[in-house]
Structure formats: structure tokens, C-alpha cells
A and B are shown apart, each in its own frame.
Chain A
Amino acid sequence: MKNLKSLLYLIILVALLAIPVIGITAASAAEHNPESIVRWCEDWPTYIDPAVGTDFSDTMAIVQLYDTLIFPNLDGSVRPHVAEKWDISDDFLTYTFYLRKGVKFHNGDELTAEDVVFSTERLFDIGEGFAYILQTKDAQGKIIAGIESVKAIDDYTVEFKLARPFGPFVPALVRLYILNKSQVMKNIDKSNAMYGEMGDYGKKWLLTNDAGSGPYKVKEMKMEESLLGEKFDDYWDGWEEGAPDFFKEFAFPGEVAIRTMMKNQELEITSETLPMEAYAALREIPGVETIAYLSTHNLQIMLNTRVPPTDDIHFRKALSWAMDYDVVVNDIWPYYVQSVGPVPQTLPGHNKDVLQYSYNLEKAKEEMAKSAYAGKENIPFTLSWCAEVPDEEKVALLFQVNAAEIGIDVEIFKKPFGLMIDDAQTVKTTPNGSVVYVAAHYNEAGSMLDTRYHSKSQGTWEQCEWLGSPNIDTAIEVALATVDEDERFKEYAEIQNTLVDLAPTIWLADQALEFGYQADYLVWPLAERVKAGKSSSPPMGYSFYVRDMKILVEKKAELLKK
């Protein structure tokens, strides 16, 4: 009896001793080093819900939190990701994807075909975000292109039926992010019946939470301020030594603050919208390097083709010939190159043979003489530029000077981007000219053409032209439905020719993204590629894929001591 009692005490003693030990081991597994962090300051991500977010800062966050069926390589091609392989039917209307087993969501649930179906349907039901890339409806709501239906064959097989063949369907799937169905369903706000029995479809909850399986999960989302993401230890594809434990994306603090933060190692990568003087100053900081590479974004002045004087084609052509492109690419942004037509040159399907406008006042005056404004002086013209990108003012002022040479009086408005979005919603409020950057959403010319010039994007900031041409709409739809790549590219090329002839836009330059980064302790695959002289044009957001980066924590501490 006594022995039994002693044994009991012994067990209790062992148990008591063991608790802290277990505690420590458990803690150390989850313990992440706050120094192992990548921070950038593009902006705080407004929408981390993949059915809503579309801009650069949104996608930078979404790619960390969610997985997709396929994954874009840095060279622009795609590789299998959550889908191990896929089959395509002979009529190019049915795509069957076979999912990897053992992919875990952040809450531990396994990712299955049901989740893919749910995520697709949710995207289309909400109809925001990148929905328009994967599905096109006509005015009556009938699906005319893209995904018509999706179903789960079994737990690991999912089948997409397309309304018509869609050439770049697989690359476009980089914008289909997979959410955890059961987790979203648990967090639906039923009091808001915006989507019928789906309530708010989890939109409110997903503003500050994630339901993904991506390499990082939301640790803290502060609206209007920042997103802190933490490494997801059970990521299905495993982790390499040195991969960052955290990432943080926050609001643009101003140029001066950026320089100070880079100096103090409080920031790893700068935003890409700084003036060139700022990059020069950044290069002076020890350990900081800058990289620049041509992206799939271009900078343009969108001309509202429905209001005078920009409704006149000759007037628009006159403007296209009056712009001094060399100043833009040499003196304002030395890494940019002049655009050749509406599609950035890095995108597959770009037509390099289209007419390229240049600074030629004679031709400008010729076109002006053909327009309805011939002989007139001080023709009023309104131009907006985006307050968040200080250098756009230089373009606006240059345009003003150039336009004055052919008798146009340009009035310039500095507008916060939010106001530009509001202005773009109606023909009347859209200014004659809007200085805007646009990015391709997946790596093909068709993405740019579809986003920029198909009537469905009218009323959004991505089309301030209000082109509304049924011929161009049809041409774009036909081209996207062409499965044969050569054939498809030929059709893209033809559309680009037509557009250049219509001159709805002054295509200024293909944007080189320039970033300052902590080269001494941050290993950034994109920067390595750029420095090796290889071209690099990942879809928007993927250049910041944190899982592939590395933070050399010891080196960082050493540098800080100096």
C-alpha cells in the first residue's frame, strides 16, 4: 500500500516536472523569430479577400495567404502547384485537374476538390476581384466565355467546363485562389443577405482574416494600416532554411521615412513608385541596393473617347504625335522604355510591328488640321494624375507643355487614386486624360487587351477611354477563345494594330519596377534573376512571394551592430 502511494507521488512528481518540458518543446516549435521578417510599404492591402482584391498591394498579400492550382514561374511560364496534373478535352472545353493529397489549410482542414468548387462559385457569385478574367457574362447575365460550370468528381479531382475555348485558361488560373469552404461557411454574416442564403459570403470576416492554405497566415490585420503575416509551419511544400518567419505590408510612409527606415533596417524592400532622386539616395545607404526590371505594367494617358475634344480621332492622334516620349524614358524614368502599342513588351503575344508614335510636331499639326478643332486655340483639356505617385506630376506637366505647342490648354488635377476611381465611373466625370499605370493580370497580351479595351471594363479605372467598340469586343473574345497559340497571337497582333490606329490612349512607357532592398541580409530570388540579366515578369504580386526569399538573421544582427 505504502509502495503504491510512493509510486503515485512519483508519477505526480514526474508529471509536474514534465509539464514545463513539454511546454517548452511545444513553444519552441511554434516560436518564430521576429527578426526574420520581410517588410515592404507598397500600401496596406485593402482587400485580402481573393474574391474582392485586385490591385498591387492586394495581390502582394493574397499570394502569400492562398494557394492556386498552378503557380507562375519568374520567367512567365506556369508549373503544377496544388494541382499535380491536368487533362484537357479534345474540344478544349473541359479541363480536369487532379489535386495533390495532404494539402492543409491554416486551421488544419485538408484541401479538397469541394473547396476549389466553392472558391470558384464564390468568386463568380460575388463578381468582384478577378472574376472577370475567368468568366464573361453578356448584358442578360448569360455566361458567354470563361468558366461555365465547375464540379468535384471526387475529393481530389475537379472539372471545369468552359463556355467556349479559352486559350490562356491555365495561366489565368493564377487568379483562382482556394478558400477553405467549411471555415468560410462558419463565418458568414447571415444578417447581411447580399448573396441570398450565403449571407455576406464571409466578406466581412475575410477583410481581416484568411481561410487559405498558403505559406503564410494572417497574424494581425490592421485596417488602413498594415498586415502582418506569419509563417505556416505545416505548409504542404515544406520550408527551406532561412525562409522568413514573418512578412509585413504597410501603408506608404513617405519618401523621407522610407530612407530612414532602410537605414535603420526597419524596412526590407521599398515601394516602386519613388522618384529617381530617391533611389539615388537609397544607393548611398550601406547594404542597400536597387534593382530595376521591365514589368508587365505600362504607363499611359487614357483619353476619354466620348467627350469633346478627345472624341475626335484626329485630335487624339495629334496628341499622340505631340508627346515627347524621349523625355519620359530618359529624364523622368531612366529604366523605362517607350511603349510599342497597348501591350507591354514583356508579355507573350505583344506585337512589335505596330506603329509607334513619336514626338513629331509636324505630324501632330497635320492631324490637328484634319480634326474638328483645326485652327482653334486654347482648346480646353482636363488631365488627372494620381497623387500617390509623385512622379506622375512630371508627366502631367510635360504633357501640358507639349499640348500647348499644338494649341491645347491643359488643366491639371492632382487626385488621390480613390477619387480617380470615382471619376472613372461615368463618362461625364471621366477627365479628357488620366495618367494611369495598368498591369497585366496574367501573362499574355490577351489579359491586357481584355482588361483595357473590352467594354466590360468601362466604368472602372482600368478603362478611362470608354471605347465601347463592339468590333473590338468581338475580336478580343474570339482571340481569347482561340486555343492554338500562334493563331491566338496573330489575332492579338491584329487587335493591337486596330487600337493603335484608333489612338484611344497615349501609350507612354513600359514600366520598369525599381526597388531598393537590403541586399546584405535579404535573399530575393527576383533580384538575383534581375542581377543575372534574365528577364523577369511574374504576374502582379508574385514578385513579392515571400516563401522563396531568405533572411540572413545573423548577418542582419551583425550589420546592425556596426
Chain B
Amino acid sequence: MTTKGMLTSSSLENPWARTLDSLKRTWYKFSRNWLSVLGLVMVVTIFFLAVFAPYVAPYPQHSGKFVDFKSKNQPPSWQHLMGTDTIGRDILSRIIFAFRNALLMAIVVLAISVPFGTLTGLTAGYYSGTWVETVIMRVTDVFISIPPIILALSIAAMLKPTLMNSMIAVTVSWWPWYTRITYSLASSIKNEYYVQAAELTGASKIYILFREILPNCSSSLLTKMALDVGWVTLVGAALSFVGLGEQPPKPALGTMIAEGVERMPTQWWIALFPALAIMFVVLGFNLFGDGIRDALSPEEA
């Protein structure tokens, strides 16, 4: 590891070089497993397709108000790489547009449940043994005791079926897991010497929570977040499969599968490709999440 020594010495002089150095090290740990790199490629692909959907989808108009019964149920061909559905719409285009909503859902759900879950978890962990912990963790337990899919289903069924409401439903069932994970980490980290030292020097509670404890939880949280993008997509697809997500004609992966299932096995492409698309998302983010865990793990290999 001669290069490593060289980088370290140069990093002493230049803070940018130091950052670069740590990034390189992270990348090294990440890329040691080719599956992680594959996961990264998949994730980048999904984001690229979702962001540039109107430009990359062969038939962007097929994702909205569109019917063409003359070209329905066509098997995969050069015109339609994944075939057409019962309405005559290009399945590939619809999958690409469905990625948009799938990612939007994952991002919104995580953007709400991660800060909320982390904050409650940190507080409960730091004040473990007091009534604060009891209140927060028992409420969390109540939510965790209900299987997320059932909770999400019942919330989504009560509200009007829209993408927004299915996001709310999934968020409600998602935050407790972040509370739980942060709580368990925080309640052990708070006994570390550096936390006690900070307390003794008179650091504020806010400082201790966010500058001493939280950074030490971040690797677990980031890994979980990466994995969760896939899982949220899956739950979102389950909701739309039963008609509780994005409403037609806007594409949703679950809805597309539900439509296609009835056409199996003769028109297999209608259900198969959206199903593979879900698999692609879940697998991609799982491999990527594994990579992040490896990269951020403190122990040297």
C-alpha cells in the first residue's frame, strides 16, 4: 500500500486532497465487491431514465392520456421492445415513466421518515431510562407491531387513491424503523467516553446529539436508506397493484402487473416486464446499499 502512504502525506498539506483521499478510500472499499459496482450502475441507470424520461422513452405520449386499440397486445418487436398493453400503449415507455413515480415516492417517504425517525430515535436513545424514552419507544412499538404493508393498505384504503396518499400511507408505516435503529445506536453511543467528555466540558445537548452521537449512527442509517429505496418501491407497487396508488392513465408498476396478470400466459409481456422492472429497482438498490455498508464500515480490511 505505497500509494496510500503517499496520499496521506500530501493530505496533511491540502484539505481538498484530504477529502479526495477519503473519497478514494471509500471508493476503494466500495468497489472491492463488483456486485456493489453493478448496483451503482443500476441505480444510476434508474435515476437517469427517471429524470430524462420524456427524452429517453420511445413513446413519451403513451404515459398519459392515450389510447390506440388498433395496436393493442402486440408482442415485443423492434417498434415496441417490450410489447404493448391491452390499450395499445408501449410498455417500455410506461415503465420508464413509472420509475419517476417510484423514485419520487421513495424520496418523499425517506425525506420525511428519516429525519423524523432519527430525531425521535436520538432523543429516546439519549434520554433512555427516563419517561421520554418510554413515551417515544412505546408509541414506536405500537406502529411496529402492525405489519407495514397492512398499515399502509388500510391507510391508503381510507384516503382517496392518489400517489400523494399512498406516500402518506407508506411514510406512516416507515418512520418507526428509523426511530428504532437510531435509538439502539444512540443508547449505546451515549455511554462512550467521548460523549461523556463532551458532557463534562459543558457541551449543549443539541451539540452532543447532533455532533457527537448522530455522525456515529450515520453509516447504518445511510445503508438502510439505500436499501429502503428498493423496499419502498416494492410496497408502493403492492399498493398500486390493488389500485391504491397512482391512478390510470398514469403508469405505476403495480398497476401494470395487475393488468397483465389476467392476460397470462398468452400475453406474458404485459405483466413480465413491469415485474422485471421492480426486480431491477429492488436489486439495484440492495446491491448499492451493501456497497455503502462496506464503504462506510469503520474496520479496515
Contact = CB atoms under 8 A, between A and B. Distances in A.
B279 interface: no
Given A281-B266, A412-B248, A327 B67 contact: yes
Contacts of A277: 73, 86, 263, 266-267
B262 A255 contact: yes
Interface stretch (A351-359, A361-369, A389-397, A457-465): A389-397
Given A397-B67, A397-B248, A414 B73 contact: no
A327 B266 CA distance: 24
What is the interface of chain B mostly: helix, strand, loop, or mixed?
A: loop
A484 interface: no
Given A277-B266, A412-B248, A331 B70 contact: yes
Contacts of A427: none
Interface in B70-107: 70, 72-73, 86-87
A397 B266 contact: no
A207 interface: no
Interface stretch (A183-191, A291-299, A398-406): A398-406
Contacts of A414: 243, 247-248
Interface residues of B, number: 20
A327 B264 contact: no
A400 B247 CA distance: 13
A394 B248 CA distance: 11
A394 B69 contact: yes
Contacts of B266: 277, 281
B153 to A, nearest CB: 15
Contact of A256 (B72, B87, B264): B264
A332 interface: yes
A390 B69 CA distance: 15
Contacts of B248: 393, 396-397, 412, 414
What is the interface of chain A mostly: helix, strand, loop, or mixed?
A: helix
Given A256-B261, A412-B247, A400 B86 contact: no
Contact of B86 (A254, A275, A411, A413): A275
A398 B67 contact: yes
B66 interface: yes
Given A275-B86, A327-B69, A401-B65, A390 B247 contact: no
A400 B67 CA distance: 9
B69 A256 contact: no
Contacts of A254: 262
Contacts of A390: 262
Nearest to B267: A277
26 contacts: A256-B261, A256-B262, A275-B262, A277-B73, A277-B86, A277-B266, A277-B267, A327-B69, A331-B69, A394-B67, A394-B86, A396-B248, A397-B67, A397-B87, A397-B248, A397-B249, A398-B69, A400-B249, A401-B66, A401-B67, A404-B65, A412-B247, A413-B161, A414-B243, A414-B247, A414-B248
Given A256-B261, A397-B67, A401-B67, 9 more contacts: A275-B86, A327-B67, A332-B69, A393-B248, A394-B67, A396-B248, A398-B67, A401-B66, A413-B161
Interface of B: 65-67, 69-70, 72-73, 86-87, 161, 243, 247-249, 261-264, 266-267
The 5 A-B residue pairs with the shortest CB-CB distance, nearest first, are A331-B69, A255-B262, A401-B65, A398-B67, A404-B65
